[in-house]
Structure 1
Amino acid sequence: MRTIGAAASALERRQPGLLAALPPADWGLLAAGAVVFGAGQLVPPYTNSYKSWYPTLRKPDWHPPPWVFPTVWIPLKVLQSAALWLVWKGGKGDRNKLALPLAVFGLHLFLGNWWNVVFFGRRELKPSVKWMGAFWTSVAGTIASFYNVEPVAAYLMAPTQVWVSIAALLNYEIVRLNTVRD
C-alpha cells in the first residue's frame, strides 16, 4: 500500500489537482484491480517449467497456442476487478452482506494460483485435476454470491467461468493423454 501511496503522491506533484478530480469510485476500482492482479504475483511464474516441461506433454488437437492464455486471462482479470469493485460498492460496507462474496472471491483467487503451483510448480498432473475442479467450483460460487449483492458483477464473472471450463477440460485431457495406464 505504501507504494501505491507514494505513486499517488508523485502523480499529484506532477499534476496538482488530478487526484482530487477523480471520483472516489475510481480509487475502489484501482484497489480491486490491485487485489486481482496482485494475487497472481504471489505465485512464481514457473517460466522454466512452462518453456521446458509443458511443451513435452501430449495435448489434445484443440489445444490453444501459447499466446492465447495471456490474451484471455488479462481481460478476464479486468472483468474480475470490475466485478469485485461493483460488489464492494453494492455492499456499501455491510459486513454481513459482503462476508460471503469476498470470502468466496478470495478462495477463487487462491485456488487459481494454487492450481498453477500444483500443475506447473510441482508438475503433479493427477492432483491438478482435483484442484482445477475446486477452482471451477469457486468461480461458480463467486458468481452466485456476487449475484446476491450486484447482478452485473455476476455477469462480469461469467466469462471467467467459461474460460475455466475450457481450462478444466484441457487439464483433464492433458492428464488423460500423459498418464501411463497400469
Structure 2
Amino acid sequence: MVAAASFIVIVILAAASGAIFKPGPWYETLRKPSWTPPKWAFPAVWTVLYILIAYAGWLVWDAAGWSLPLLFWALQIVLNAAWSALFFGRRRMDLALGDIALLWFAIACFIVAAWPASQLAAILFLPYLAWVTAAGLLNFSVLRLNSAG
C-alpha cells in the first residue's frame, strides 16, 4: 500500500509543475495551428494519463522492484515535470521541444522495458505515448509559427 501511495504522490508532484507554470496570457498571444486541442482537453486528458502513469509505475514496482523499466519510469516523470517549467515558465519553446523528444524516448523505452515484467503496465503507457506525440507536434508547430525569420 505504501508503494502505491508513493507512485501517486510522485505523479501529483509532477502534475504540480503544470499547475505552477500555467499557460497564461503569454501562451494566449502565440500563434497556434488550427488543430490545437481545446483548452478543456488538456486537464481532462492529463488527469487520466497521470492515473495510468501512477498505476503502471506501481505495477512494474510490484512485478520487478528496482529495475530498468522503473528507471525509465522515473526519467519520464522528471522530463514530464520539466516541460511545463521550460515551455510556460521560461518561455523556451526550443528547450521544451528537446525535453519532449527525450520524454517521448523515455516513454517508449519504458514500454519496451516494462513488457516482460508487466504487459499491462506497458499497455497503459500507450495512450501517454500517443498524447506526447501529439504534444510534441504541437510544441514544434507553435515554435515554428512564432519563430522570427
| TM superposition score normalised by structure 1 | 0.76
Any unmatched runs of 5+ in structure 1? 1-25
* Within-5 A mapping of 1:83-122: 83-91=56-64, 93=65, 98-122=66-90
Residues paired across the two proteins, number: 149
In 1: Cα distance, 2:25 partner to 2:17 partner: 22
Give the secondary structure class of the aligned counterpart of 2:148. Answer: coil
Give the secondary structure class of the aligned counterpart of 1:65. Answer: coil
In 1: Cα distance, 2:18 partner to 2:132 partner: 18
Task: Quote how far apart the aligned CAs of 1:28 are.
Answer: 3.5
Q: Which amino acid aligns with 2:51?
A: V
Any unmatched runs of 5+ in structure 2? none
* One of 30, 36, 50 as aligned partner of 2:11: 36
Distance 1:126 1:39, change over 3 A: closer
Choose 1 or 2 for highest CA Rg.
1
Q: Provide the identity percentage.
A: 35
Give the secondary structure class of the aligned counterpart of 2:67. Answer: helix
Confirm or deny: 8 A CA contact 2:97 2:140 kept in the other structure.
yes
Confirm or deny: 8 A CA contact 2:17 2:85 kept in the other structure.
no
Task: Quote how far apart the aligned CAs of 1:79 are.
Answer: 0.7
Q: Deviations over 1:131-154 (max 9, x none)?
A: 111111111111111112111100
Higher RCO (C-alpha under 8 Å, 6+ residues apart): 2
Over 4 Å off, 4+ runs: none
Question: Who is 1:64 aligned against?
Answer: 37
Matched, 1:138 2:113: no
